[in-house]
């Protein structure tokens, strides 16, 4: 799990868009989270994987911007933005290499038995000839 430092996150609070009445027009509950991928304290390998996966979302300065405005509460929107950033990082995790193993003896026996059973079923479907 990648740990993102709180000091690397830049928050700005803006007014939410869309319907909501008078409350939306006077309270800044939406959160803009900006995270600079170039100046962050993460490994180069993870940084390159992040850039290759989300390069279109990253600005020229290296900032990725996440806007959260789903909730009426500023704190919930802030938590939502942080969770969405962490989700972006969790989606690019390095896959563990698979170590190939040999099939067990019982699995080999079961495979052969299944093949024999299937062969008998298919032979029983053949036309019967007088010569046999």
Q: Which domain holds residue 102?
A: 1-124
**Within-domain flag for 130:** no
Q: What is the pLDDT of residue 132?
A: 56
Residue 7 binned pLDDT confidence (cut-offs 50, 70, 90) = confident
Q: What is the CATH number of the domain that holds 97?
A: 3.30.160.20
Q: How far, in Å, CA of 64 to CA of 52, rounded?
A: 13
Task: Please tell me the pTM assigned to this model.
Answer: 0.64
Q: Report how far residue 44's alpha carbon sits from residue 49's, in angstroms, rounded to the nearest whole number.
A: 9
- The confidence score (pLDDT) of residue 29 equals 84
- Mean of pLDDT over the chain: 86
> pLDDT by residue (tens digit) across 73-90?
889 999 999 999 888 888
104 within domain boundaries: yes
Q: Is residue 132 part of a domain?
A: no
Provide the domain count of the chain. 1
* Nearest-angstrom CA–CA distance, 22 and 24: 6
Query: In what side-by-side order are the strands of the sheet with 9-14?
Result: 9-14, 30-36, 63-68
């Amino acid at each position: 799990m990648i740990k993102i430092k709180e000091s690397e996150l830049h928050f700005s609070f803006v007014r939410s868009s869309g319907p909501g009445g008078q409350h939306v027009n006077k309270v800044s509950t939406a959160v803009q989270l900006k995270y600079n991928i170039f100046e962050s304290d993460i490994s180069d390998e993870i940084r390159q994987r992040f850039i290759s996966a989300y390069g279109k979302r990253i600005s020229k300065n290296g900032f990725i911007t996440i806007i959260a405005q789903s909730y009426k509460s500023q704190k919930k929107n802030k938590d939502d933005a942080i969770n969405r950033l962490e989700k972006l990082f969790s989606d690019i995790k390095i896959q563990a290499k698979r170590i190939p193993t040999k099939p067990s003896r019982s699995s080999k026996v079961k495979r052969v038995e299944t093949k024999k059973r299937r062969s008998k079923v298919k032979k029983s479907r053949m036309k019967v000839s007088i010569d046999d």
